[in-house]
Amino acid sequence: MSTVNLKTNVNFLIILLCVLFLAFVEGGNVSKSFFDGKGILGNEIQQIAFILLTLIIIIMATLNPEKAYLTAYSAATLGLIVVISSFYNVFAVGKDGYAIAEMILGFVLIVTGVMMGRNTRLENKEKENIRKAIEEYKKTARKIK
């Protein structure tokens, strides 16, 4: 019987909402740079690439819940990239508006990614069951040869 892990689901929801908010902010930055005639910064391109990667991984994890740990790692990586580029935007470029909110969301992504990664680890009982199953498989594979 399958069970619902509330911590994992809440972390997954927080990650999804943060990624969607970042996607809207970065989409606004890109459209603003096209209409103002300014170029797109390299860190914005990197953020957009990781946002798309994280969205693809979220879709994969939704369709295959065994891959939920990928969402945790991707969210933590995206959070780190967002924090670093937000520091750059605040201190080097001078953007203040959404940079502070992006920085906070980056920290939230890192924390929820770490918490979700901790929730998806195997327990000792599960590890022992896996070891026994592998040993049984080896025994049957030797008999077949």
Give me the pLDDT at residue 37, please: 72
pLDDT tens for each residue of 50-105: 888 888 888 888 888 777 788 888 888 889 988 888 888 777 766 667 778 888 88
109 vs 118, residue with greater confidence: 109
Please report, for the chain, the start and end positions of each structural domain, with discontinuous segments joined by +.
6-144
Mean pLDDT of the chain: 80
**Is the pTM above the cut of 0.75?**
no
32 vs 80, residue with greater confidence: 80
| CATH T-level assignment (fold) for domain 6-144 | Butyryl-CoA Dehydrogenase, subunit A; domain 3 (1.20.140)
Q: In sequence order, what DSSP letters do the residues of the chain get, joined into one string? A: -----HHHHHHHHHHHHHHHHHHHHHHHHHHHHHHHTPPPPHHHHHHHHHHHHHHHHHHHHHH-GGGHHHHHHHHHHHHHHHHHHHHHIIIII---HHHHHHHHHHHHHHHHHHHHHHHTSPPHHHHHHHHHHHHHHHHHHHHH-
